[in-house]
Structure 1
C-alpha cells in the first residue's frame, strides 16, 4: 500500500533519522550532498566546514532536503522538505552543535577515533552551524505488511 505520512508521522520520522540529502542550487548548478542533521521546531539543523554547499546556500538560501528509510523495494519511507538556510551564532549555535553531537556520537562504535567529517582540528572553531527553516514538507511510504 502506498500512502502519505500525516504530520505526526512525518515529524516522528524526521526526529528518528540522522542522515538526509541537502539540495542547493546557485549560479546554474545544482548540488546534492548527504549530511548529518537534527530536526526540531520545524527546522533542520546541521554543521559544515566552509566549502561548496555553504557557498551555494549563501548565494541562494532556498534549499531542498530529503530523508529516506528503505527496508526493501516495497517497504520504505521518504520525506521531501523545502526551506530557507541561515547561519547560527552565539548560544543557539552552541546548543545546536551539542544536539548534533549527542544524536550522532552514540551511533559509532569508536567515537574517540572517528574523524570529524573531514574537518581538520584547526577548522573546528570555524565550523558553520546552520538552520533550514521549513516552508513545505511532505512524506510518502510504501508498506505491504499485514496489520491486525
Structure 2
C-alpha cells in the first residue's frame, strides 16, 4: 500500500531522524548533500564549515530537504520539506543550536573518538578556534510525506 503521511507522522519522522539530504540550487547547478540535523519547532538546524553547500545557500536561500526511514524496499517513509536557509549569527542562538545538535546526534555515534564536527576538524577542540563553524536553520514553509508498506495489503 502506498499512501500519504499525516501531519503527526511527518513531525515524528523529522524529530526522530538524524541524517537528511539538503538540496540547493545556484548558478544553474543543483547540489544535494547529506547533513546531520535536529528538528525543533518548525526549523531544521544544521552546521557546516565553509564550502560548496554554504556558498550556494548564500546565493539562493530556497532549500529542499528530504529525510527517510527505510526498513525494507517495500516498507519505508519519506518526508520532503521546502523552506528558507538562514545563517545563525546570534551567539546565544548559535550555542543553543549546537547543543541541541550534539544532544540529538551523539547517541547515534558509535566510535569512542567520534565528535559532532563529523570530520570538519580532526580534534573537537579545534571548533571555534581554527575552524569557523557555520550554524544555520531552515525555516520550513511546506512539507509532505509518503509511505509504502506492502505488509498492510
TM-score (norm 2): 0.90
Gaps of 5+ in 2: none
Determine if the alignment matches structure 1 residue 129 to structure 2 residue 129. no
* Equivalent position of 1:66 in the other structure: 66
Q: Aligned-pair RMSD on alpha carbons? A: 1.6
* Equivalent position of 2:44 in the other structure: 44
* Equivalent position of 2:95 in the other structure: 94
Cα deviation for residue 106 of structure 1 reads: 1.2
* Equivalent position of 1:56 in the other structure: 56
Query: CA separation in 1, counterparts of 2:59 and 2:126?
Result: 22
Q: After TM superposition, where is structure 1 displaced by more than 6 Å over at least 4 residues in a row?
A: none
Aligned residues: 146
Query: CA separation in 1, counterparts of 2:24 and 2:74?
Result: 29
SS of 2:118's equivalent in the other structure is coil
Query: CA separation in 2, counterparts of 1:87 and 1:94?
Result: 13
TM-score (norm 1): 0.93
Gaps of 5+ in 1: none
Cα deviation for residue 123 of structure 1 reads: 5.8
* Equivalent position of 1:144 in the other structure: 150
